[in-house]
């Protein structure tokens, strides 16, 4: 499919190295005008897809970070209560009609736009990132269904607001809880796995132009071996980039060059005390010689 290859090339130009299946999912997203649900472990690059997509389409990136307890007010809109109270007192003092006052203070002038409403009302191209939707409560997930199906939202005081331009919607999930069938039905789906060695080396060369191709491949192989160890937190692509940048920073050009320095730099890859304790200098030396 030429269109899929074109998307992959444009993503690469935007510093995101996509595999064949992800490029296909993004092409289908545009073809069908459907939201895309990206699921996978933390650190595999799901969030970065939305950023790259925004750069590719010269679109505004609007991000809604989900968390437990997130409600419609924080995601869609709020009323500016302080301004409403001031206006209410001023109009009452002037002897205004109560019904007219109520209509006035629940109007556009007192509305505070939040990410979902901003995405719906923006007349230009928008990529809406609903990040880590699995962290939100099931009630909020249900609230999203109208937006995902109809690209519209309802505000009781103002009515239904339909998207001026249909945004590209990317949802991410780390799989911390099962998402509803209703949400899944409204989205295309792609599972984002850790990149294979060649793709991770390509990512390193794209994001760190100063890295030698051979070192990039060694780093990708080394991190792949680290991921096979018994870890509490498996390093993601961002950690690989930090590790490679640190190697360049201390002048290491070959992974077996200095096992001690390699071990000292593991703080870029390992993020728990237990993982640091499990990967000692001897393990690092063994893995470095295995991949070089």
- Specify whether 156 is located in the same domain as 204: no
Angstrom distance (rounded) from CA 53 to CA 33: 14
The predicted-structure confidence for 53-98, as pLDDT tens digits, reads as follows 999 999 999 999 999 999 988 999 999 888 988 888 888 788 878 7
CB 284 within 8 A of CB 262: yes
- Specify whether 186 is located in the same domain as 202: no
Q: What is the mean pLDDT of the chain?
A: 92
Number of folded domains that form the chain:
2
- Specify whether 72 is located in the same domain as 157: yes
- Give domain status of residue 92, yes or no: no
- Give domain status of residue 118, yes or no: yes
- Specify whether 35 is located in the same domain as 133: yes
Q: How confident is the model at residue 224 (pLDDT cuts 50, 70, 90)?
A: very high
- Domain containing 52: what range? 1-78+109-192
| Percent residues over pLDDT 70 in the chain | 100
Give the 3-state secondary structure percentages of the chain, helix then strand then coil, rounded to 5: 55, 15, 30
Q: E strand or H helix at 78, and its extent?
A: strand 77-79
- Specify whether 128 is located in the same domain as 239: no
Burial class (CB in 10 A: 0-12, 13-18, 19+), 106: middle
The predicted-structure confidence for 246-272, as pLDDT tens digits, reads as follows 999 999 988 888 888 889 999 999 999
DSSP 179: P
* For residues 91-113, average pLDDT: 83
pLDDT value for 95: 80
The Cα-based distances of 288 to 81, 224, 259, 260 in angstroms read: 60, 11, 8, 11
- Specify whether 253 is located in the same domain as 179: no
Domain boundary among 165, 192, 219: 192
- Specify whether 145 is located in the same domain as 275: no
> For 28-37, 95-104, 196-205, which range has the lowest pLDDT when averaged over its residues?
95-104
> What are residue 283's phi and psi, to 5 degrees?
-65, -45
- Specify whether 183 is located in the same domain as 231: no
Angstrom distance (rounded) from CA 90 to CA 267: 59
- Specify whether 135 is located in the same domain as 212: no
**CA-based nearest residue to 44, from 168, 199, 169:** 199
* For residues 193-205, average pLDDT: 95
């Amino acid at each position: 499919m030429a269109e899929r290859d074109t998307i992959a090339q444009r993503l690469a130009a935007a510093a995101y190295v996509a595999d064949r299946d992800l490029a296909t999912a993004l092409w289908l997203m545009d073809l069908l005008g459907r939201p895309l649900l990206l699921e996978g472990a933390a650190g595999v690059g799901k969030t970065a897809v939305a950023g790259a997509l925004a750069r590719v389409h010269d679109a505004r990136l609007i991000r809604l970070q989900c968390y437990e307890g997130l409600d419609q007010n924080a995601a869609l809109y709020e009323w500016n209560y302080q301004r409403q109270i001031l206006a209410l007192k001023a109009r009452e003092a002037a002897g205004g009609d109560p019904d007219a006052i109520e209509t006035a203070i629940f109007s556009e002038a007192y509305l505070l736009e939040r990410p979902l409403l901003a995405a719906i009302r923006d007349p230009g191209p928008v990529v809406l990132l609903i990040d880590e939707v699995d962290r939100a409560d099931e009630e909020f997930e249900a609230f999203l269904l109208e937006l995902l199906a109809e690209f519209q939202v309802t505000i009781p005081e103002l009515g239904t607001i339909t998207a001026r331009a249909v945004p590209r919607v990317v949802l991410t999930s780390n799989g911390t809880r099962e998402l509803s069938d209703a949400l899944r039905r409204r989205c295309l789906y792609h599972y984002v796995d850790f990149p294979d060695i060649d793709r991770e080396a390509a990512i390193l060369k794209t994001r760190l132009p100063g890295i030698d191709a051979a070192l990039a491949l060694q780093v990708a192989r080394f991190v792949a071996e680290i991921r096979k160890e018994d870890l509490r937190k498996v390093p993601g692509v961002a950690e690989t980039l930090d590790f490679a940048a640190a190697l360049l920073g201390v002048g290491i050009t070959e992974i077996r060059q200095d096992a001690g320095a390699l071990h000292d730099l593991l703080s870029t890859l390992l993020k728990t005390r237990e993982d640091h304790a499990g990967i000692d200098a001897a393990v690092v030396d063994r893995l470095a010689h295995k991949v070089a």
